[in-house]
Amino acid sequence: MASIALQVNGKTHVIEAAPDMPLLWVLRDVLHLTGTKFGCGIAMCGACTVLVDSRPIRSCVTPAATLVGKSITTIEGLSSDVSHPVQQAWLEEDVPQCGYCQSGQILTTVSLLARTPQPTDADIDEALHGNICRCGTYNQIRAAIHRAAGLRRQATEARLTKHAETSDE
Amino acid sequence: MSNETSLKIELLNRRDVLRGMGGLLVGFVLPGARRVDAQHFGAPMTVKPNAYIHIDADSMVTFLITKGEMGQGTVTSLSQILADELDCDWNCVRTEFAPVDPSCYGPMQGVFGSTSIRTQWMPLRKAGAAARQMLMLAAAQKWNIDVTQVRTDQGFLLANGQRTSYGSVAEAAAKLPLPADIKLKDATDFRLIGAPAKRLDTRDKISGATRFGIDAEVPGMLYASLARCPVFGGKVARHDAEKAKAVAGVREVVRVSNGVAVVADNTWAAMQGRKALNITWDEGPNAALSSAIIRSRMSELGEKPGIAGRTEGDAAGTLARAAKRVESIYEAPYLAHACMEPLNCTASVRADGCDIWASTQMQSGARRVAARITGLDPARIQVHSMYMGGGFGRRGGTDFIAEAVEISKAIGAPVKLTWTREDDIQTGPYRPAAYVKFSGSLDSQGWPEAFKARVVCPSFGGGRGGEGLDGTAVEGIDDLEYRFPHCAIEFHRADGAVPTSYWRSVGYSQNTFFAECFLDELAAAGGKDPVEVRRRLLAHSPRMLAVLNLVAEKANWGAPAPGRYQGVALVNNLESFTAEVAEVSLHDGKVKVHRVVCAIDCGQVVNPAIVRQQVEGGIAYGLTAALKGEITIEKGRTQQSNFNTYDMLRISEMPKIDVHIVRSSEAPGGVGEASVPPIAPAVANAIFAATRRPVCRLPIRISV
């Protein structure tokens, strides 16, 4: 057993865990953050996706001990009130059915939009290819991603407009 | 783990809690539920008192949902039915899963066969209407006026300029007798029924707050992983736990009916401990079983006359005399359900009771199995229904619940058992593999005349079907909506060692593929258009014909985009009528499904947005099976293990889907399974149109 300091959703947790224990089980069984899901254990389904320094990783195959000093974001840390633009888009499109894969789908999308603010369908296919949804909500996921990109664009435009107005004064 | 710790668990008896809360809890005698297709699970719903609604003093309305939520939207759609008749404020609705209570909810509390809306439609309408009438009477008594002067408006009672909330009279209303004459709304007055209301469970599902079975946490809980014999029917000969116990975090190793369980401080440690187990298996009589052996047994049976099913006219004589005959053999493989949430159960067995937290489609069965294992009175078993990360029929089984109860009983502590994905793919039970030998003939004009099918299939549910025709194994062929002049269906039960069970759309999942593809073979042999042939065979069936015509129109049948091909298929299952047209292209032996158009008549719709979700989801589920799904057996064990060898449809493979819902005031039909059966044959028929070679096996493999 080793003592591991992890920064999860902005808080530092010191936990005791086996050095090879994947982050998934640390999050779920030790920190009781159950929004991150177990799906396959071999990085084939994306249900366990979390963000590490804003990049999506598969927590089921990533030992927690390798993430010391990094910033980990789980679905619980995205917002306290589903106000994140991606969550808002998901709400508008009413995406989930069973909902089990959605934490991973949402976090993968957050990362996609950070890198590619206006993704094409091909960008979406590439980024989300590793995230299985057995309920088949893929078309709603796609619509929600485009909507979230639109929300971002609107927010940026609003900021620019405000900036322009301020400059005019 | 001491008993002291486990006794600290707070037991929540929901009925006591509700009684203690005051307010209105509607309980009343159900009218006779209309007949539902409950054949899969035995007896139809019985008539018992029910409790569905609680209104507290600040007018918050709690609906008790007796049907599990696995993504199909029952939490929302059942609430819409209740809220519409109750005329409450939709924004003040919350839901809870009902406890298991046969005296309240009947002996078959569970969710299966796309029956949630069909069985709950009238009872919930009456529950909502009865509660509303009681609130109106309570208000009338408060205001000292006649009840006919009182009306309601979304959570408020109004009369002669006076206005009060439901909550203000809820306690008084609760003391009133149930109305003898329950007045239901006229359909034209529905406000929520038929509306695309947003799902009530979305918010929690996008914030990580939803509690699935796998998220259950109980104080003092340990975590378990269970090693089962990889060979069907095998068992543990002996095991050595020494190395497993040496793994950090492992607490105990216990032998249970299905294998050897490792119990640890967390799931990972339990899984690592399990890998360190040294088990010698007694592989039993199936150690040499293979898919090839199973297939050869099926094909042998396919050559012999079977048990007679639907028989009309003289199929044998017509076939013997026919100028043009078509014969073909179709096959479909075993399939795993692969719910996204791996199977799991948390159980706490104590001397005085047992609690179960599970994502289960079969609450009554969970209670039954726990009572059997613990020897406790069923009334001492509490089943806490959790949200399900998919069900698809798999969670109708109680094997994983029995395992957790056994382990908890053995160690004397609460325990969460989690299956690995490999356990899920390799243990089954599976949708049965099936084999059909078809013969058909055409009349002098080239129209289908005789239709003969010999279905070879294990019974669903592992051989419990008894002797004779297994209605579930032949559904989709024996009950075709098409009317052939001569028809003969036969059946061979091909039970074997591979465990089988219900899988989304059950017998239709393979039989619709067989029948709809063979029908296209007949159409092609007669030089007829597939839609024209179906129209002719459906002249007597206005609802089926209407969805066929609608889908043909919306898909622009007969005029696909350049380089693309169309295929059509229909199904009439669960009192819904569904037609699909798939538009595909072929590149280097690979199929691309571009677009699927679906027309569905599922009677009265409660929530069209959820119907669309279910149709799309069913198509994705069926398309996964059509393009990818195959469980094969070698040396008595399943060869596939995880999503690397048993892959699912991915976002890039999802077709565009257009759903057209027929407006109808017919009784509600089932929707959760309606769209699954036609997609494989629609795609296969489109490939047949492209290649002129019929696709007779699933999953679809195209020879270049």
Please report, for chain A, the start and end positions of each structural domain, with discontinuous segments joined by +: 1-77, 79-169
CA atoms within a 13 Å half-sphere pointing along the CA-CB vector of B184: 13
Chain-centroid distance, C-alpha B7 = 36
By Cβ distance, the residue of B267, B271, B389 closest to A98 is B389
Residues of A in contact with B206 (CB under 8 A): 75, 82, 87, 90-91, 95-96, 99, 102, 106
Give the model confidence (pLDDT) of B403-444 as tens digits: 999 999 999 999 999 999 999 999 999 999 999 999 999 999
Whether the Cβ atoms of residue B681 and residue B675 lie closer than 8 Å to each other: no
Give the model confidence (pLDDT) of B229-241 as tens digits: 999 999 999 999 9
The A residues from 50 to 69 touching B (CB cutoff 8 Å) are none
DSSP code string of B223-243? EEEEEE-SSTT-EEEEEE-HH
Res. B301: pLDDT tops 80 = yes
In this predicted structure, what is the pLDDT of residue B648?
98
The distance of B28 to chain A (nearest Cα, Å) reads 31
Confidence of residue A37 (pLDDT cuts 50, 70, 90): very high
In this predicted structure, what is the pLDDT of residue B76?
98
Res. B19: pLDDT tops 60 = no
B618 touches chain A (CB under 8 A): yes
More confident residue, A165 or B438: B438
The A residues from 11 to 50 touching B (CB cutoff 8 Å) are 18, 21-22, 25, 28-30, 32-42, 44-45, 47
The pLDDT of B287-297, averaged and rounded, is 98
* Structural tokens at position B65: 């949902």
**Angle B631-B636-B639 from CA coordinates, rounded to 5°:** 35
In this predicted structure, what is the pLDDT of residue B28?
35
* Structural tokens at position B19: 């009684």
Residues of B in contact with A126 (CB under 8 A): 652
Q: Which residue of A has its CA nearest to B616?
A: A136
Alpha helices in B175-331, H assignment, sequence order = 202-205, 242-245, 267-275, 291-301, 315-321
Confidence of residue B51 (pLDDT cuts 50, 70, 90): confident
Whether the Cβ atoms of residue B441 and residue B326 lie closer than 8 Å to each other: yes
For A9-18, A81-90, B93-102, which range has the lowest pLDDT when averaged over its residues?
Answer: B93-102
Q: Which residue of A has its CA nearest to B69?
A: A98
By Cβ distance, the residue of B272, B609, B644 closest to A44 is B644
Spatial distance between the Cα atoms of B217 and B605, rounded to a whole number of angstroms: 37
In this predicted structure, what is the pLDDT of residue B40?
27
Confidence of residue A167 (pLDDT cuts 50, 70, 90): low
The pLDDT of B69-81, averaged and rounded, is 97
Domain A1-77, what fold?
Ubiquitin-like (UB roll) (3.10.20)
Domain A79-169, what fold?
DNA polymerase; domain 1 (1.10.150)
Tokens 């759903």 belong to residue: B659
Spatial distance between the Cα atoms of B150 and B133, rounded to a whole number of angstroms: 10
Res. B368: pLDDT tops 90 = yes
Q: What does the CA dihedral B214, B220, B225, B227 come to, rounded to 10 degrees?
A: -140
The amino acid at B243: K
End-to-end CA distance of chain B: 62
The pLDDT of A140-156, averaged and rounded, is 91
Spatial distance between the Cα atoms of B520 and B678, rounded to a whole number of angstroms: 13
By Cβ distance, the residue of A25, A35, A36 closest to B266 is A25
Domain with CATH 3.30.365.10 in chain B: 14-205, 213-284+343-418, 291-335+430-691
- Cβ neighbours, 10 Å, residue B471: 17
Spatial distance between the Cα atoms of B448 and B534, rounded to a whole number of angstroms: 10
Confidence of residue B58 (pLDDT cuts 50, 70, 90): confident
Tokens 């779920």 belong to residue: A28
> Which contiguous run of DSSP H or E holds residue B140?
helix B116-143
Res. B68: pLDDT tops 80 = yes
Spatial distance between the Cα atoms of B416 and B408, rounded to a whole number of angstroms: 9
Tell me which residue of B298, B673, B692, B700 sits closest to B513, measured CA to CA: B700
Res. B20: pLDDT tops 50 = no
Confidence of residue B11 (pLDDT cuts 50, 70, 90): very low
Give the model confidence (pLDDT) of B174-200 as tens digits: 888 888 899 999 999 999 999 999 999
CA dist B272 → A21, B226, B250, B269, B403 (Å): 10, 11, 9, 5, 19
The pLDDT of B73-92, averaged and rounded, is 96
Interchain pair B654, A136: CB under 8 A: yes
Interchain pair B340, A39: CB under 8 A: yes
Helix (H, G, I), strand (E, B) or coil at B657: strand
For B22-26, B182-186, B450-454, which range has the lowest pLDDT when averaged over its residues?
Answer: B22-26
* Structural tokens at position B235: 């068992």
CA atoms within a 13 Å half-sphere pointing along the CA-CB vector of B497: 22
Cis peptide leading into B177, omega within 30 of 0? no
Interchain pair B201, A99: CB under 8 A: yes
Tell me which residue of B277, B329, B341 sits closest to B300, measured CA to CA: B329
By Cβ distance, the residue of A34, A96, A138 closest to B651 is A138
CATH code for the domain defined by B14-205 = 3.30.365.10
Res. B335: pLDDT tops 60 = yes
Whether the Cβ atoms of residue B306 and residue B454 lie closer than 8 Å to each other: yes
Average pLDDT, chain B: 91
In this predicted structure, what is the pLDDT of residue B465?
53
Q: Which CATH class is domain B291-335+430-691?
A: alpha beta
* Structural tokens at position A91: 């709400």
B266 touches chain A (CB under 8 A): yes
Spatial distance between the Cα atoms of B620 and A98, rounded to a whole number of angstroms: 14
In this predicted structure, what is the pLDDT of residue B18?
33
The distance of A93 to chain B (nearest Cα, Å) reads 9
The phi, psi pair for B381, rounded to 5°, reads: -100, 120
The phi, psi pair for B563, rounded to 5°, reads: 80, 0
The pLDDT of A7-23, averaged and rounded, is 96
- Put residue B489 in one of left, alpha, beta given phi > 0 → left and psi -120 to 50 → alpha: beta
In this predicted structure, what is the pLDDT of residue A153?
80
More confident residue, B97 or B15: B97
Q: Is the sign of the CA dihedral B120, B121, B123, B124 positive or negative?
A: positive
Res. B387: pLDDT tops 90 = yes
Domain B213-284+343-418, what fold?
Aldehyde Oxidoreductase; domain 4 (3.30.365)
For A17-21, A65-69, B98-102, B207-211, which range has the lowest pLDDT when averaged over its residues?
Answer: B98-102
Q: Which residue of B has its CA nearest to A122?
A: B652
CA atoms within a 13 Å half-sphere pointing along the CA-CB vector of A147: 19
Tell me which residue of B450, B470, B451 sits closest to B461, measured CA to CA: B470
The distance of A159 to chain B (nearest Cα, Å) reads 27
